[in-house]
């Protein structure tokens, strides 16, 4: 099964109609929901970061709606990252100055699972070898 990781920025873009990437995020998520794009995997760290961002803007109901959409969609898998991803993320966070800790957890998971593709609007990932960042609703497997 073809899978990609979906970064927090895509999920925030989906939830926030005022986000600069809202339309593209909607296309990416719709593509996953309808099976036109690979299955989107999100780790518990991505969910945490996304829901906290939405909730902190006093949008509790939107945070719940976002989680339910991810959890109920056939186009997404919500996964629990292993403890070793946290340890690897610490190393990546210390090594790459421009990489946030949240992004380091994503990178550690990607490296452990040997996943190449990441839907993300965040160019901090470009410093890492082995990760191909996708900013548009294109299917890298076609």
CA distance 13 to 26: 8
Q: Angle at Cα 56 formed by Cα 50 and Cα 61, nearest 5°?
A: 75
Q: Report the CATH superfamily, name and number, of domain 3-134.
A: 5'-nuclease (3.40.50.1010)
> What local confidence, expressed as pLDDT, does residue 120 receive?
97
> What local confidence, expressed as pLDDT, does residue 67 receive?
93
Q: Where are the domains of the chain?
A: 3-134
Tens digit of pLDDT at every position of the chain (142 positions): 699 999 999 999 999 999 999 999 999 999 999 999 999 999 999 999 999 999 998 889 999 999 999 999 999 999 999 999 999 999 999 999 999 999 999 999 999 999 999 999 999 999 999 999 999 999 999 8
């Amino acid at each position: 099964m073809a899978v990609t990781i979906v970064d927090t920025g895509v999920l925030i873009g989906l939830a926030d109609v005022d986000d600069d990437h809202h339309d593209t995020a909607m296309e990416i998520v719709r593509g996953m929901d309808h099976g036109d794009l690979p299955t989107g995997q999100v780790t518990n760290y991505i969910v945490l970061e996304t829901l906290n961002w939405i909730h902190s803007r006093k949008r509790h109901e939107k945070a719940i709606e976002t989680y339910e959409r991810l959890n109920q969609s056939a186009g997404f898998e919500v996964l629990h990252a292993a403890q070793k991803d946290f340890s690897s993320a610490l190393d990546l966070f210390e090594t790459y100055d421009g990489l946030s800790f949240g992004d380091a957890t994503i990178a550690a998971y990607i490296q452990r699972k040997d996943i190449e593709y990441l839907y993300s609007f965040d160019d901090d990932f470009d410093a890492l070898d082995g990760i191909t960042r996708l900013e548009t609703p294109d299917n890298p497997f076609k």
